[in-house]
Amino acid sequence: MEREVKTCQNCKKEFVIYPELANFCASIKVPTPTFCPDCNHQQREMFRNERALYRRPESLNGENVISIYSADKDLTVYKQEYWRGDGWDPLDYGKDYDFSRPFFEQLRDLMKAVPEPAITNWNATNSEYCSNTTDNKNCYLVFGGDFNEDCSYGYMNFHSRDSMDLYWVDKLELAYECTDTDNSFRVAFCQNTLNSTDSMFLYDCVNCNHCLGCVGLRNKQYHIWNQPYSKEEYEKEIAEINLSSFSGLQLASAKFKELKNGSPRKYADIFKSVNCTGNYLQEGKNSRNCYECYSGSENCGDLFLAGWNIKDSYNSDHVGYGSELIYNSHIIFSQAHRVFFSALSPTSHDVQYCYNINTCSNCFGCVGIKNKSYCIFNKEYSKEDYERLVPKIIEHMNAMPYVDKVGRVYKYGEFFPPDFSFFAYNESKAQEFYPLSKEEALQMGFAWKDAEEKSYSVDIRPSELPDDIKDVADDILSRNIGCAHEGKCNQQCTTAFRIIPSELSLYRRLNLPLPRLCSNCRHYERMIQRNPMKTWHRACMCDKSNHGHQEKCSVEFETPYAPARPEIVYCEQCYNSEVV
């Protein structure tokens, strides 16, 4: 089958339906996408809020609870324990299908009527202000990360202790401002680093101890800017750099960035994979344009945050754990099978257009149900009636499509329209991956939530903070610090922030200065360090003959490094010849 070129309904750019995707869609009898992969992903992430937490009345008894839904959202919200229990019946909201109205309009009514859990934060011990997490203890503002203790301001951090400002890490202790770093102790400002201790500003380093500002090192100690020092010389030089001061830290950060840009990079973080493209991909096979895919993906495409033995799945995110045949869906785990156009529907099979269901089979357009089969709009049917009605609904979806306010058309095969989301664009994960201004979001027909009026005032501006941590007194804990971005960014800036006691303790233990940005802006700045979820076709830039080739290397690849970027990009063989 030849490649088909389409124009995206949303961004109006051309995109390619490659043969593997076309064959997959034909095999499961669904139409090929009318949105490009980026807009498809953006659309799904609009249904996920992680960082915006609110207090709102719980719908049963009016008790104020922490929730991902602000109080102005017209929803029925239950505590998570009650929502998952048997005290209410989602089938009470069931209704007959109405062939005089578009399918999506009816589904939107059902989504608004069925209760929602206030938050997902299981087995939390003194960790109330966390979301999409489980088994955290003494944690604060940790999102998507599990099994942590005494951690704050983290995203996808796991099995870590006494650490802060983390992004995609595992098994860290006494760590600060680390991204894609695992199994390390007393480290700060590290990225793509493994098995290291007592180090700062490392990139792509493995088993390094007492190192500062190093790139691409293996099994080294007492190095600064990739140069070796004796123990005594190292300690003297570190003292002179004065990383306990904000000014010293800024100078070191700038020098580190210069060293990173001048050092070769591997074309992509792809390991033990065959015929795969994307980034942060491990043990994959025949997977195209996949990102954050771990522990096995086979015959897949256009996935984000997936893997764990997922097979034959496309255009989805937050999916895996033995699941198969997942298409255009969001948050589908645990042996799920044939789940299409759905969200938050784990351990289910043969379901379509379902939202917030669990362990269901043969369901179409259902919300909030658990352990049910042969349901349409939360109403149970016999197997025979279900199988007769579903094809008629699909035909009706195509004959009477839903058209949103900016003219995007939703027939059978499209994910939920963005205006069905309970979150404004800037509350959702979409703002992190595809940042928009308020004007841009509204022009595209997306909802926007203006910042709620703040009752606090800024006590101290960033420029007024002590430069060195040794000059910071305990009274900083009671002061409102202005964020340096002043709310002028698109990073969900809180405009002001406070230092919490465990945070100040960590700064003092690591001898690091106070931050000048709020936790949300710091999170976005960590995201910027990582590559985008797209690739460009390029050639290896290596021209060193001792790397096994004459003159310039001829290897070509797909890489997330755009051609105009300053980094030196190598193929895997040339890169492996370069790291020491």
Residue 62 has pLDDT above 70, yes or no: yes
pLDDT tens for each residue of 186-198: 999 999 999 999 9
What mean pLDDT comes out for the span 147-157? 98
pLDDT score of 451: 83
Using CA atoms, how far apart are residues 349 and 520, in angstroms rounded to an integer? 37
Residue 252 has pLDDT above 80, yes or no: yes
What mean pLDDT comes out for the span 74-89? 96
pLDDT score of 551: 83
Work out the percent of the chain whose per-residue pLDDT is above 70. Answer: 100
pLDDT score of 472: 98
What are φ and ψ of residue 374, in 5° steps? 55, 55
pLDDT tens for each residue of 116-145: 999 999 999 999 999 999 999 999 999 999
pLDDT score of 20: 96
Terminal CA-CA length for the chain: 45
Q: Which of 38-52, 88-102, 294-308, 538-552 has the lowest mean pLDDT?
A: 538-552
pLDDT tens for each residue of 205-217: 999 999 999 999 9
Q: Can you tell me whether residue 248 is helix, strand or coil?
A: helix
Residue 2 has pLDDT above 90, yes or no: no
pLDDT score of 78: 98
Using CA atoms, how far apart are residues 540 and 382, in angstroms rounded to an integer? 60
**Residue 321, Cβ neighbours under 10 Å: how many?**
17
pLDDT score of 316: 98
Using CA atoms, how far apart are residues 365 and 471, in angstroms rounded to an integer? 60
pLDDT tens for each residue of 98-110: 999 999 999 999 9
Under 8 Å between Cβ of 95 and 377: yes
pLDDT tens for each residue of 494-517: 999 999 999 999 999 999 999 999
- Tokens representing 213 are 């500002």
Cross-strand pairs, 191: 179, 203
Give me the half-sphere count of Cα atoms (radius 13 Å) on the Cβ side of residue 98. 11
What mean pLDDT comes out for the span 43-52? 96
Using CA atoms, how far apart are residues 308 and 245, in angstroms rounded to an integer? 43
User: What does 123-140 look like in DSSP terms, one character per residue?
Assistant: T-BS--S-BSEES-BS-E
Angle of helix 231-241 relative to helix 246-261, nearest 10 degrees?
120
- Tokens representing 121 are 């934060």
pLDDT score of 453: 80
What mean pLDDT comes out for the span 151-169? 98
Distances (CA, A) of 289 to 4, 20, 108, 146, 532: 17, 12, 31, 27, 12
Q: Where exactly are the structural domains of the chain?
A: 160-266, 271-399, 462-529, 536-578
Residue 67 has pLDDT above 70, yes or no: yes
Indicate the average pLDDT of the chain.
96
What mean pLDDT comes out for the span 48-63? 94
pLDDT score of 546: 78
pLDDT score of 169: 97
pLDDT tens for each residue of 346-381: 999 999 999 999 999 999 999 999 999 999 999 999
Which are the contacts of 148, defined by CB distance < 8 A and separation ≥ 6?
136, 137, 139, 142, 154, 157, 158, 159, 160, 161, 163
Which are the contacts of 526, defined by CB distance < 8 A and separation ≥ 6?
165, 167, 177, 179
Cross-strand pairs, 274: 285
227-236 contacts at long range (C-beta below 8 A, 24 or more positions apart) = 234/210
Residue 562 has pLDDT above 90, yes or no: yes
pLDDT score of 1: 56
Residue 482 has pLDDT above 70, yes or no: yes
Read off the DSSP letter of residue 438.
Answer: H
Cross-strand pairs, 481: 460, 497
What mean pLDDT comes out for the span 413-427? 97
CA-wise closest residue to 332 among 299, 363, 310: 310
